Structure 1
């Protein structure tokens, strides 16, 4: 995600094809107000939920996150799916929330801030 977020890892030709697939988030005008380029790709089955996301905001802060859940019950998957967008938005916008997640999950490599 960090390589995609940097916009320098691949040639401009690659991003010409990759961005329309990854950066559909920018179709929402609200996201255009605070983001330069966000991208995400997810996948799921009956028992798995995954999402990988990157974002650069208008202040130049970059965030990359990947979430993988396996062996979920139907209830767990439905609850995660329902709440994932809110979680990601809060993670991107709220430094106190990121600090809380880092404290609760100390073995993860999470940034203390967006920068």
Structure 2
């Protein structure tokens, strides 16, 4: 079994925390306060410079309404397997709307038109 490098896992988890935090619309300061760490410490978590405390990761997952396995989806930990972790879609309507708003801003006009056409076709 190939061993994974902890630093790579820390980087991947940090990127996922940052991605999901932005999708939900929370600032780093706000999330840091909610989990009880300084903004500087939270920044080190997101950069992968410091290993995240498991209790903090669990709290982050709860606050961001995200399965904890989703944070490991981009890691190279080959001995960890997660089913459909990258396909995670939140259940709450407000979280779904926030994700749509986040992605909508990054779409070109053609992509937006195609998405609307797709959604219209689904309703038929």
Please report the TM-score for the alignment, with normalisation by the length of structure 2. Answer: 0.25
Higher alpha-carbon Rg: 2
Where is the strand percentage greater, Structure 1 or Structure 2? 1
Please report the TM-score for the alignment, with normalisation by the length of structure 1. Answer: 0.26
